[in-house]
Structure 1
Amino acid sequence: MKQMNLNENWNLCSAPLFWDITFADEVRKKEDEWMKCRLPADVRMPLMENGLIRDPVKADYCFESEWIEQKSWWFLKTFECSEADLDAEVIELVLERLDTDAAVFINGHLLGCQKSVHYPFVKEIKEYIRPGRNELIVRVTTGLEHVDDQQLSQINWAVCREQDNGGKDRSDYRRAFVRRPQYTVGWDWGPRVVTCGITGDVYIRCMSKAAIRQMHVYTSDIREGQAVLSASVCIENLDMLSTRDCSISVSVCRGEKQVASEYRDCLLTSGDNYFDFELKIENPELWWPNGCGGQPLYQVVCSIECEGVRDEHRLKAVGIRKLTLDTARLDDENRKFQIVVNGVPIFCKGGDWIPNDSVYARVTDEKVEYLLKEAAGANFNMLRIWGGGLYESDRFYESCAEKGILVWQDFMFACSAYPDHLESFQELVRKELDYQTKRLGNYACIALFCGSNENHWLFNKYDNPRWNVEFRHERALGLYITNHMTKEIIRHNCPEIPYWNSSPYGGRLPNDDTAGDVHRWHNGYMSQNMEERIEPRLYDQVESKFVSEYGCIGPCCLESTREYMGGHALERSGKIWEMHCNVFERNTVLAGIEKHYLDHVQNLPMEEYLLYGGMVQGHILGYSLEAMRFKEKCYGALFWMYNDTWGENGWTIIDYYLRKKISYYFVKRALSHVKFIIRLEEGNVILMGCNDTLEEVTVTGEWGYVSFDGACRKTAPLTVTIPPATRLCCKKEKLAGEDYKAGIMMYLPGQSCAEGAYLQLEDMKQLRFSKNRVEILSENQKQDQTCIQMTCSGFAHGVYVAGDMECSDNYFDILPGEIKTVYVKNPEGRKLEVRQIL
């Protein structure tokens, strides 16, 4: 198969919205209104390059490009085709992503129309293409213009909007009817930037004799010393009348070494032909989630030769592993919700992932790779792809497989009723789900497919009484898709992958603690009670089996804040600042600073606001993640959210500009693969040891009470052994009558495999700290990094390396007598400054 890339040298112009497909000739006659562009391209990208609009993620510039929604946009390209190319039996044009309502013309012929961004446009073009110069025209609009009030009444206007939460410039009821990225109409964490364009690759593929149309590979068995990969292959005989001889080879390689293969001599009948293979691999290397083991990946290659013509299909991220979702009964009331990999129960830890830019077409592989590298570095073993955005690129899933990051994949439905009573809507969704399950089903990282984000929960009239929407089986408002259609498609395409109807879902009503997953908001950061929003110890009360969403808002660093403010003054009372504050922030950051650190916070300087606000976010996220790991019957904790679509005072731990927030380091420590956690339960101090690895861990440390100045030390040696992949109560004793405003219970390991842990019983501001200064023991430069060793005779809180530096750890506490080692990326060998908050 020959593939011709058509991404380069396009022209773009706008026209009135009413210029529909009948105006293609009028557009072609335009002479001086075209802009050069290359694909993928949102129309804003060439508009920015030509100085016609400013970047919509800065300041309030998103409003400057709202007019884009009221235009039709026309892409034009000419390309050459040779006589040899035209000799192919089948020539297909592929546009991988059209956003959103599109019509495609080639040489004046209307090839077809498409109304979904979530699967490719593919058409046979042999009868329309010619040798020499060819012309391709694509008309795109946002698709919102086709939705009216009468249609919205069919779903009772049941669409979540940020206007209801105070985000007056965000969201749009019409999104529910359009298969476009839902977030682009605005969400609590992002502006209204309604995308439009050709946002994926465009190419022509020329095929003759036979073509590999699909391959699905999964691990069907793992036994002592052997694994079996099952492969199903669809090969199309392109001759509509005749049979053809074809040789098929399926091989499995680990690096350069072939470890299994099978060859067949087959007779292809016209059209699709299906073949099943079982490939036995001796002494297989198993794939494991991050922290549990390695991530060896195999390459599976299907090669065919038909009447002298070859074709090949490669899967590069196949892992040998068995994965199940365990929902076994715990007792009369409760059930598990636990991912099991290769027979080992996994505690899922990580965050929720959203699109990386309001103008998502400009997101690079390098940006995605950096974010995934830092997620793995923060000890994530799972990311949940949120259902209001986009299905990610193939490179994203390959990288997750390489790094051991399991993917909880929502399908793209979020916070809304959907018109699945319409056959046209069902058809769009069926094509989307069929394409995406076939595409994603081969990746080792895929742990679970999920029907939607919060759609079932929204119909729970106890949690959302203002809706009170009535639905029936014949008018399911989107639940037919998640309850029936999606299950049917997964059963056909990849039945080995677990499916869950929605998130949250499970129990008597969605968001029930007794089964499934929960989104912990109303008794957390979205509580009407400010104290509940900023009190981390509330998370000790979690009884949920799997928390897949909850969060805490915190600011970016000063450099990122300046960037997204776009040159405007850094004033917390200004319009631009407020626009870049999450809708749900509502002065909670200041309230958190006042509770945990400072009095009289209203006139706090910006630098202190950013520092202490980051510390509060980090403290709440770190404490809450530890609280959920501590719970024996909680099997996963994913916080909202990991990454940003623009710069804001918001939920994330890495900002839009790829700078780590203070909270990143708290999360990294909380999710350590070997972790000790201390909590107080019913008057007992409990030391919990968490070991995510496949190796037994033995640690000897110091256990007991120590004062903040280090002078009073009532401790004793304690050796604990934690079996592989286990959470274990290592020590339990009655709380002694010590002064816990002047000291802490702690466990300080003597080995470097685990951080120390301590029990804090009062808010930070209520503790009586001594003025303990951190002592630098050594500072050594090796190649491009500096290694700093430090200690403190007493307790030091919030110790950090100042400046915009890449550190192995930062904003940490040092326990009395602890020696802390930090590595800082420092290629210039600059002198580093270590500071501390308390």
Structure 2
Amino acid sequence: MQLSLNGRWNLFYFEPGQGVQKGAHREDFSERDAIAVDVPGDVHTALIRAGILPDPYYDENPEACGWVEDYEWWYRTRFSVPSDMQGERFDLVFEGLDTLADIYLNGEKVGSAQNMFTPYRFDVTEHLRRGGENTLAICFHSVVLEAEKKDVSRYWAAFYKPRVWVRKAQMNWGWDWGPRFVTVGVWRPVRLEAHSVARIAHLFAHTLRLTENGAEVRLSAEIEVIGEEQRPLVVSFFVRDHGQDWGVSAPVIDGKAETTLWMDAPQLWWTHDLGKPHLYTVEAELLDGAKAVHADSIRFGVRTIEVDQSPGLEPETTNFTFVLNGVKIFAKGADWIPADNLIGSIPAERYRKLVQMARDANMNMLRVWGGGIYESPEFYDACDEMGVLVWQDFMFSCAAYPDDDEDFVKEVRREAEVVVKQLRNHPCIALWCGNNENQWIDSMIHWNEPEFPFFGKRIYDEVLPQVCAQHDPSRLYWHGSPWGGDDANSDKAGDKHNWQVWAGMIYPRTSREEPRSNPTPEGVSYRHYAHDKGRFISEFGMHGAPVLRTLQRNIPPEQFFYDSEGFLYRIKDPDTSRKERMFEAHVWQPRDIQEFVLLSQFVQAEGLKFGIEHYRRRKFECSGALFWQLNDCWPGISWSVIDYYLNPKGAYHYVARAFAPLLYTFRQEEDGSVTLWSVNDRTEPASGDLRVRRMRLDGTVISEEEHRVQVPANSSQQLLRLAPATDPATEFLVVQVKRGHHAPDNVHFFAEWKHLKMPKAAVQAVFTPKGQEGSCWECELRSDKVAHFVHLVFPQDAVQVSDNYLLLLPGEPRTIEFTCPEPCDPRQVQVWGFNVSKVECEVRG
């Protein structure tokens, strides 16, 4: 039995060390000056609601919130135990405390916490009043104050070195896409539990093997006995699925009940692009004789997941291909960061919306990056239900960690054991990964110091693999990202981060070679993706502005001009001049913020499309493309394709088309010719009649051909070779499916954007209502000339739109459907484009 302690608590703050002196832990402490705080939640959100902190994301207000990290914060609440809540032992359970905390019940200290990522359970039987009111108080110490007491002279870290000692979201101290917010508080649920005899501590269900006829599933339960008496206990397992049930029992031996179950003809869990992500429920009942003393349940999917690391086709290479239920897959997706800086106050619907947007953009994998958090249950549940795989980093990023400190290593081991047991039942999780970029960066820092110790190696090479092997043998443990080959960022094995584009790094490199870079417009151009021979690309990308209204909402009017102090504050990349180099490589320098939004979104969209199509054409020499990054934690200018207010950027729609299950894609060859390729991620062959046109930018057709094509299942192949352009500045190619399996239209321009002779296009937009409420509309777009990157700019946030950022050809209208969160007037919708000079809008109906 359990009692939820979530809800409205009282909040107080003191100078460090003053809370106990002032009696904040005592039952008789005056709560007259309390600040209301939600549990789960965080201190910053409570202070914003109380008017003590300003809007944290407007202007430079993150600086005005910085004082929070310097204080000691106290949470207090009162509760009574219901008379029917009986048990031999009572536990206070905290799913998440951020971060260094002391817990007091009725004035007595009952426990401490030092890790944001793990739950804590405290036996409070001796301290609990069952017949009266109880006072619960939690003191949160300043993590900054405590971290800065530590010796960091032996270690390196990006952004803030003392963070390596604190098991807390590393991005709290700022990153190159977000501001510094050192959060604090009760960020996950709290409850009181009562138990007798024993309790089920953990459940685990995983598929041992699949055959044509069924699946063998391993079921286990970890049991904690209450008290000293040892009794013969049994666990009954039931696998349930809408009336179809399987049942089996197992005795508890040495604290564990384990058994196997054969499931005839089960429905498998697939990614959404290959099938249905079917989920089963496992119910477990702990029996003391005929009496049930505890019950628990989990969901799981019948599926196997492996990584094929067999020798590659290219010399001295190794594959890195995920295999789901025996089917090789190309991983298509993005890197995920926390959905808000104020981590404890992220609503469940935000998680579900972001995962849904990823799925709708044809993504089948998200990588949970190692500088954030082990995500909310709502995130993993959404991925389970929507058929999206998760590459799961452990929370170590861009730093050397103190693995020479035994207490730190002990805490890391405990953290890993807890996290693996918590998350292993989610079928979405495809792989455990030791860290983000630590081996790679360390090898660059100490490239000429072969004897210098790599702090963290013991964690990634001993502790984490041991924990994963013991508690989850069903998945691969991978030592880091990137990792594999002589250099951690090798082209020949494992996964790779491509930061040649945007940052100018030069590849390939060996582990003891001095790092080189070319931070020139030519050196950072996204055209370098065409030469990437990586086996699995788990990071690549470039900046793109959020929609204009996001910047208008957060930059003060007097600062609302290009490269103002307020504008540059939105960019957390330390080198803000990178945007100018990228513009110079591909387009031209913007003259104002509106043109900056247009050009940066355009370059980001075209660059990600260029890279993704290159990686997909190399299937399965390359087996994955996870770009940096899906989402934002604040309204900044970053690598994300969805801004903080859930507005998709141009790159989001480009990525959705580039990740389509069936894709026809052009490749520029060195001799000037162009080859047309097909990529099919489905497990069935495809066919179609393709219309391939060579056109001029004024809309005239130079030539047209039609080809009947057969595309094998799960393949990439070259279809055609087309002649070079006569005039690269005015010609382009278009491929469209006339009949057959659907694939998005695609286009190839022969020259760089800044060299194209784009015409001035006039676009007509006709809006027609869909339904009576005024929220759903259809828009037909037409252009008199070739018009590129044509898109609707909405007056509301989080508009759901079927497609956007389109190429319009003369005489070929395109239709977009969109749904606004609230009724909207389409006359307030703007139409922008790369070369649109005139727009006429009409509203019908």
* In the alignment, structure 1 residue 577 sits paired with structure 2 residue 567: yes
Q: Deviations over 1:465-513 (max 9, x none)?
A: 58958544xxx51110111100000011001111110011110021111
Q: Specify the alignment match of 1:100 in structure 2.
A: 99
> Does the 8 A contact of 1:350 with 1:637 survive in 2?
yes
Match in the other structure for 2:839: none
Of the candidates 229, 233, 237, which is equivalent to residue 221 of structure 2?
233
Partner of 2:157: 159
SS of the equivalent of 1:91 reads strand
**SS at structure 1 position matched to 2:65:** helix
Kept after mapping to 2: 8 A contact 1:794/1:815 = yes
Residues 1:188 and 1:574: Cα distance change in structure 2 (over 3 Å): same
Q: Distance in 1 between matches of 2:25 and 2:833?
A: 67
Q: What are the Cα deviations for residues 224-243 of structure 1, in whole angstroms up to 9, with x where unaligned?
A: 13122211112334242231
The 1:23–1:516 alpha-carbon spacing in structure 2 relative to 1, beyond 3 Å, is farther
Give the corresponding residue for 1:262: 248
Say yes or no: does 1:207 pair with 2:200. Answer: no
Partner of 1:167: none
Q: CA deviation at 1:352?
A: 0.8
Paired AA for residue 497 in structure 1: R
Please list, as runs of the form range in 1=range in 2, the aligned pairs for 1:250-329 lying within 5 A after superposition: 250-254=237-241, 256-263=242-249, 266=251, 273-306=255-288, 308-316=291-299, 318-329=300-311
1:540 matched to 2:538? The reply is no
Indicate the SS of the match to 1:152: coil
The answer to whether the Cα contact below 8 Å between 1:534 and 1:620 also exists between their aligned partners in 2 is no
Are the aligned partners of 1:251 and 1:258 in contact in 2 as well (CA < 8 Å)? Answer: no
Which residue of 2 is the match for residue 493 of structure 1?
A: 471
Report the alpha carbon displacement of residue 368 of structure 1 after superposing the two structures with TM. Answer: 1.0
Matched, 1:728 2:717: yes
Does the alignment pair 1:631 with 2:618? yes
**Kindly tell me: are residues 695 and 780 of structure 1, through their superposed partners in 2, closer, same or farther at Cα, counting changes over 3 Å?**
farther
CA contact (8 A) 1:678 1:688 kept: yes
For residue 152 of structure 2, what is the amino acid of its counterpart? L
1:771 is displaced (CA, Å) by 4.8
Where 1:58 maps in the other structure, the secondary structure is coil
Q: For residues 563 and 832 of structure 2, what CA distance do their matches in structure 1 show?
A: 29
Which amino acid in 2 is paired with 1:797? H
Residues 155, 402 of structure 2: 8 Å contact kept: no
Equivalent position to 2:651, from 635, 639, 663: 663
Q: Are residues 711 and 8 of structure 1, via their aligned partners in 2, closer, same or farther at CA, if it must alter by over 3 Å?
A: closer
Aligned position for 2:10: 11
Q: CA deviation at 1:780?
A: 6.6
| Residues 40 and 771 of structure 1: CA distance in aligned 2, closer, same or farther (over 3 Å) | same
- Corresponding residue number in structure 2 for 1:622: 609
1:564 counterpart letter in structure 2: N
Structure 1 unmatched ranges of 5 or more: 162-171
Would you say 1:837 and 2:815 are equivalent positions? no
In structure 1, give the amino acid aligned to 2:497: H
Q: Distance in 2 between matches of 1:829 and 1:224?
A: 55
> Which whole-Å CA distance do the structure 1 matches of 2:157 and 2:107 have between them?
39
Q: Which residue of 2 aligns with 1:42?
A: 42
Which letter maps to 2:140?
V
User: Residue 508 of structure 1 corresponds to which residue in structure 2?
Assistant: 486
**Equivalent-residue separation in structure 1 for 2:545 and 2:472 (angstroms):** 41
Partner of 1:169: none
**1:800 corresponds to which residue?**
791
Taking the TM superposition and a 5 Å limit, the aligned residue runs for 1:599-614 are: 601=589, 604-614=591-601
Deviations 1:334-387 (A, max 9, x none): 111111111111111111111111111111101111111111111111111110
Matching residue's letter, 1:126: T
CA deviation string 1:283-342 (max 9, x = no partner) = 2222222322221222222123435344322213x2221110111111541111111111
Q: Is the 2:24–2:74 Cα contact (8 Å) retained in structure 1?
A: no
Cα 1:213–1:340 change in 2 (3 A) is same
The 2-side partners of 1:403 and 1:40 are apart by 26
Tell me the distance in 2 between the aligned counterparts of 1:425 and 1:278: 37
The answer to whether the aligner puts 1:144 opposite 2:144 as a matched pair is yes
- Bigger shift: 98-107 or 808-817? 808-817
DSSP 3-state at the match of 1:553 = coil
Alpha-carbon separation, structure 1, partners of 2:127 and 2:675 = 74
How far does the alpha carbon of each residue in 1:750-776 deviate from its partner, in whole angstroms, 9 at most, with x for none?
A: 147111222222112312334555567
After superposition, the Cα gap between the structure-2 partners of 1:147 and 1:235, relative to the gap in structure 1 and judged at 3 Å, is closer
Change (3 A) 1:792 1:284: farther
Instruction: Find the aligned partners of 2:441 and 2:147 in 1 and give their Cα distance.
Output: 22
Task: Note if contact 1:533-1:588 (Cα within 8 Å) is conserved in structure 2.
Answer: no
Query: How many equivalent pairs are there?
Result: 808
Tell me which residue corresponds to 2:838: none
Residues 568, 347 of structure 1: CA spacing in aligned structure 2 closer, same or farther, 3 A cutoff? Answer: farther
Structure-2 change in CA distance of 1:439 and 1:102 (3 Å):
same
* Other structure's SS at 2:655 match: helix
| Superposition pairs of residues 521-540 of structure 1, within 5 angstroms | 521-527=499-505, 528-532=518-522, 535-540=525-530
Other-structure match for 1:354? 337
Q: Which amino acid aligns with 2:734?
A: M
3-state SS of the aligned residue for 1:45? helix
**Is the deviation greater in 561-570 or in 390-399?**
561-570
User: Which moves more between the two structures, 684-693 or 399-408?
Assistant: 684-693
Q: Does the Cα contact within 8 Å between 1:293 and 1:693 map onto a contact in 2?
A: no
2:3 & 2:45 partners in 1: Cα distance?
24
Q: Which residue of 2 aligns with 1:165?
A: none
2:348 matched residue in structure 1: 365
2:797 is aligned with 1:811:
no
5 Å-filtered alignment, 1:50-199, equals 50-85=50-85, 87-131=86-130, 132-148=132-148, 151-153=151-153, 156-161=154-159, 172-199=160-187
Judging changes above 3 Å, is the alpha-carbon distance between structure 1 residues 55 and 568 closer, same or farther for their aligned structure 2 residues? farther
Query: Unaligned 5+ residue runs, structure 2?
Result: 506-517, 836-845
Task: Kindly state the Cα deviation for residue 597 of structure 1 after the two structures are TM-superposed.
Answer: 4.2
- The match for 2:757 is 768
Q: Distance in 1 between the 2:594 and 2:150 partners?
A: 51
Matching residue's letter, 2:596: Y
Determine if contact 2:37/2:43 at 8 Å carries over to the other structure: no
